[in-house]
Chain A
Amino acid sequence: MAVETETLETVQALTQSGYKWGFETNVEMEFAPKGLNEDIIRLISARKQEPAWMLDWRLKAFAAWQKMEEPQWARVEHPPIDYQDLHYYAAPKKKAGPKSLDEVDPELLAMYEKLGIPLKERAILAGVDPDAAEGGSRQIAVDAVFDSVSVATTFKETLSKAGVIFCPISEAIREYPDLVKQYLGTVVPVGDNFFAALNSAVFTDGSFVYIPKGVRCPMELSTYFRINARNTGQFERTLIIAEEGSYVSYLEGCTAPQRDENQLHAAVVELVTMDDAQIKYSTVQNWYPGDEHGKGGIYNFVTKRGACRGARSKISWTQVETGSAITWKYPSCVLLGEDSVGEFYSVAVTNNHQQADTGTKMIHVGRGSRSTIVSKGISAGHSNNTYRGLVRMAPTAKNARNFTQCDSLLIGDRCGAHTVPYIESRNLTAKVEHEATTSKIAEDQLFYCRQRGLSEEDAVGLIVNGFCKDVLKELPMEFAVEAQKLLAVSLEGSVG
């Protein structure tokens, strides 16, 4: 209840128009020249001090990418992207990586404040003693990614005591090459799709997480991504491995400053769970969506996939997508283990001229594997919002079950909601259920709220949050508050 109330207070506080997070940080940047070729890839690899095997891996991906074409099947439209007209590497000019938070650029810390990063996390970033902050509240470790280089990693010590590895992936490539080699590209192969291949060739940074056998990660791991340089494609790569019987909750949040040009973002996230292990991956995505005429905004082409390799293992994706001009994203689960569980909870909001084509894939291979999909799409303005989901029951998926709930909410009469479910069942004992609804915020609902004294914006906030409740309750508390604020802000001015 407190959360919902806070949303309403936020709507009142945020009545100014425009993108709240549209500011630019003045940190000196170092760019690689525009364009993409083997030399650029060699440059990236060299800057990251990568071993030879990593460079080979990248070059292989680049070769694959060159033979591929941009996928056309999504319900999105955009002018052709000139991949030779982008910078593929940008790094804040620094002599060496900071050893502690004291060395972090104060401007970056100030930026976290503007981003509205929860107080507790800001306190952590400000260097509050982690042991002093324990008093009943959960700890969160932040691996901050500022453009392409990780500049601050907190709580490393507490984590390393538990045997947890949480570091920039570039560091993992140098420090834990065997682990990286063993898992990188095994869930999303280099040639999986056009954008994944591009990412594999040029990714600059991201997070690496390793949870050893039987360890429950002592805190939630959190990464804030931010695209900050003009015309820089950001290619994040994240790899999370949960060994037998382990658990981790990972939070990813993104906001981006205002830009006129469209920016490309093509991330790849790979998750692996072994027997009885569990990964909970939560995202709040708030990249710049473009202005109300559809000018500018991020192109967000993301490949996220988890492999439940172990028996009874579980991967849970929760996403709140309110940003980006274009979202192309299908966090998926490959349910290999017996009785493994995949979950996908999603809220996707589009307003003005935003386009979202998002959903999930649940690939059931293991016996008794189960999956749940709850998707809530909200369209306003001139936007288009598509749910695209695949549920596949392999011949081996005996007694596997899927339940899909897919709801769309329309605000106004110029937007579109589309549901494209694909169901393939090759096992007669497998059960697939699909429910879908489309509704409009009805005039009488708005009037009912207003008759009780609520403003129109408060009323929309209340109704939308009610519609998304099933998904929002899956988010960790701090994120839920942030997500509710975002929903309200994203839909500002969408009625009346």
Chain B
Amino acid sequence: MLEIRGLSACIGDKEILKGIDLTVPQGEIHAIMGPNGSGKSTLGYVLSGREDYTVTGGTVTFNGANLLEMEPEARAIAGVFLAFQAPIELPGVNNANFLRTALNAVRRARGEAELDAVQFLKLARAETKRLHMRDDMLKRNVNVGFSGGEKKRNEVLQMALLRPKLAILDETDSGLDIDALKIVADGVNALRSAEFSALVITHHQRLLDHLVPHRVHVLSQGRIIRSGGPELAKELEQSGYASLIAEAA
């Protein structure tokens, strides 16, 4: 379970999160929506431990642990996964090698046996097939020369391999056509279980057609101004954020 209480954070002098309260119980998928600049991505970065952000107040506990005290890699090993909005390129670093190194780091920390190259490739090939991705994606350098859609799918592949307990998807649907969108949604849906929860940050309701959330939260100016069921997303799609924001002000 993820529990966020009064979380505030800034970058430089600029306060972005101004007291977030949010609980995501195990097994649930929550959507975070909101206009540009409302702090959606910042929330994802703060939860995963990006150092550019300074937490100025509040607490975050994840399965009983104080998440804010942990290094980014410790959070990853505890099961927090961030699917990046703009996945980073690593020139010269082979994707399969990167994925195996990451997977083995996580497995090692969890006391599981590491996978050798053959075992890993078997697993990775099965996942790429399931995600309708081409095998050559494993041979290429991490995200280098990938199209926007390929990068997003590569994030979903990593997520599928690392099997996180909490996945944070930062606008993973942006810039995707409907087929790619479905692959992303399927990737998350395949992980659904009583131990898996997700925070799905998105601008659009259409992802939520394929990835039906338990709850939807609207973020504006660093605060959650409204929460509701999946119908809230549909309501937003029709009326936009403006009326909600005016209401909250």
Q: Give the B-binding residues of A (Cβ under 8 A).
A: 1-2, 4-5, 8, 442-445, 447-456, 458, 462-463, 465-470
Stretch at the interface among B34-42, B95-103, B178-186: B95-103
Known contacts A1-B96, A5-B97, A466-B141; is-contact A458 B90 (Cβ 8 Å): no
Which A-chain residue is minimally distant from B80 (CB atoms)? A451
**Please, which residues of chain B bring their CB within 8 A of the CB of A468?**
92
Q: Which of A5, A453, A456 is B162 in contact with, Cβ under 8 Å?
A: A453
Stretch at the interface among B45-53, B209-217, B234-242: B45-53
- B window 99-122: CB within 8 A of A: 100-103, 105-106, 109, 117
Least Cβ–Cβ distance between A209 and chain B, in angstroms? 33
The reply to whether A1 and B52 contact each other, CB–CB distance below 8 Å, is: no
The reply to whether A470 and B92 contact each other, CB–CB distance below 8 Å, is: yes
- Chain B: residues with Cβ within 8 Å of the partner, total of 36
- Distance A432 CA – B81 CA, assembled complex (angstroms): 47
Q: Give the A-binding residues of B (Cβ under 8 A).
A: 48-52, 71-73, 75-77, 81-82, 84, 87-94, 96-98, 100-103, 105-106, 109, 117, 141, 158, 162
Known contacts A1-B117, A450-B72, A454-B73; is-contact A463 B102 (Cβ 8 Å): no
The reply to whether A448 and B73 contact each other, CB–CB distance below 8 Å, is: no
- Distance A208 CA – B43 CA, assembled complex (angstroms): 65
- Distance A449 CA – B48 CA, assembled complex (angstroms): 12
The reply to whether B101 and A444 contact each other, CB–CB distance below 8 Å, is: no
The reply to whether B88 and A454 contact each other, CB–CB distance below 8 Å, is: no
- Distance A116 CA – B51 CA, assembled complex (angstroms): 37
Which A-chain residue is minimally distant from B78 (CB atoms)? A453
The reply to whether B72 and A465 contact each other, CB–CB distance below 8 Å, is: no
**Which of A1, A2, A442, A450 counts the most B-chain CB atoms under 10 A from its CB?**
A450
The reply to whether A452 and B158 contact each other, CB–CB distance below 8 Å, is: yes
Known contacts A443-B52, A444-B88; is-contact A462 B101 (Cβ 8 Å): yes
**Please, which residues of chain A bring their CB within 8 A of the CB of B89?**
445
**Please, which residues of chain A bring their CB within 8 A of the CB of B91?**
466-467
- Distance A2 CA – B101 CA, assembled complex (angstroms): 11
A interface, over-half SS? helix
Known contacts A1-B96, A443-B52; is-contact A453 B90 (Cβ 8 Å): no
How many CB-defined contacts (below 8 Å) exist between A and B?
90
The reply to whether B98 and A462 contact each other, CB–CB distance below 8 Å, is: yes
**Please, which residues of chain A bring their CB within 8 A of the CB of B76?**
450-453
Known: A451-B49, A452-B98, A452-B105; 15 extra A-B contacts, CB below 8 A, are A1-B94, A1-B117, A5-B117, A444-B88, A449-B90, A449-B98, A449-B102, A450-B49, A451-B82, A453-B102, A453-B105, A454-B102, A458-B101, A462-B93, A463-B93
Which B-chain residue is minimally distant from A468 (CB atoms)? B92
Which B-chain residue is minimally distant from A447 (CB atoms)? B50
Known contacts A445-B90, A466-B91; is-contact A454 B100 (Cβ 8 Å): no
The reply to whether B92 and A467 contact each other, CB–CB distance below 8 Å, is: yes
**Please, which residues of chain B bring their CB within 8 A of the CB of A449?**
90, 98, 102
- Distance A458 CA – B72 CA, assembled complex (angstroms): 13
Which A-chain residue is minimally distant from B45 (CB atoms)? A447
- Distance A495 CA – B10 CA, assembled complex (angstroms): 24
Q: Which of B77, B88, B94, B100 is A448 in contact with, Cβ under 8 Å?
A: B88
The reply to whether A451 and B72 contact each other, CB–CB distance below 8 Å, is: yes
- Distance A316 CA – B103 CA, assembled complex (angstroms): 38
Known contacts A443-B52, A447-B50; is-contact A469 B92 (Cβ 8 Å): yes
- Distance A416 CA – B90 CA, assembled complex (angstroms): 22
Q: Which of B51, B97, B105 is A447 in contact with, Cβ under 8 Å?
A: B51
Least Cβ–Cβ distance between A432 and chain B, in angstroms? 25
The reply to whether B105 and A458 contact each other, CB–CB distance below 8 Å, is: yes
- Distance A94 CA – B98 CA, assembled complex (angstroms): 52
Which A-chain residue is minimally distant from B75 (CB atoms)? A451
The reply to whether A466 and B101 contact each other, CB–CB distance below 8 Å, is: no
A-B contact pairs, 5 of them (CB 8 A): A5-B100, A448-B84, A452-B76, A452-B105, A452-B106
- Distance A218 CA – B90 CA, assembled complex (angstroms): 39
The reply to whether A443 and B101 contact each other, CB–CB distance below 8 Å, is: no
Which B-chain residue is minimally distant from A472 (CB atoms)? B92
The reply to whether A453 and B77 contact each other, CB–CB distance below 8 Å, is: yes
The reply to whether A448 and B105 contact each other, CB–CB distance below 8 Å, is: no
The reply to whether B92 and A8 contact each other, CB–CB distance below 8 Å, is: no
Which B-chain residue is minimally distant from A3 (CB atoms)? B97
Least Cβ–Cβ distance between A5 and chain B, in angstroms? 7
Which B-chain residue is minimally distant from A439 (CB atoms)? B91
**Please, which residues of chain B bring their CB within 8 A of the CB of A4?**
94, 97, 101
Which B-chain residue is minimally distant from A456 (CB atoms)? B73
Least Cβ–Cβ distance between B209 and chain A, in angstroms? 28
The reply to whether B97 and A1 contact each other, CB–CB distance below 8 Å, is: yes
**Please, which residues of chain A bring their CB within 8 A of the CB of B73?**
450-451, 453-456
The reply to whether B141 and A448 contact each other, CB–CB distance below 8 Å, is: no
- Distance A456 CA – B89 CA, assembled complex (angstroms): 17
The reply to whether B100 and A453 contact each other, CB–CB distance below 8 Å, is: no
**Please, which residues of chain B bring their CB within 8 A of the CB of A458?**
101, 105
- Distance A458 CA – B84 CA, assembled complex (angstroms): 20
Which A-chain residue is minimally distant from B81 (CB atoms)? A451
**Please, which residues of chain B bring their CB within 8 A of the CB of A463?**
90, 93
**Please, which residues of chain A bring their CB within 8 A of the CB of B82?**
451
The reply to whether B106 and A453 contact each other, CB–CB distance below 8 Å, is: yes
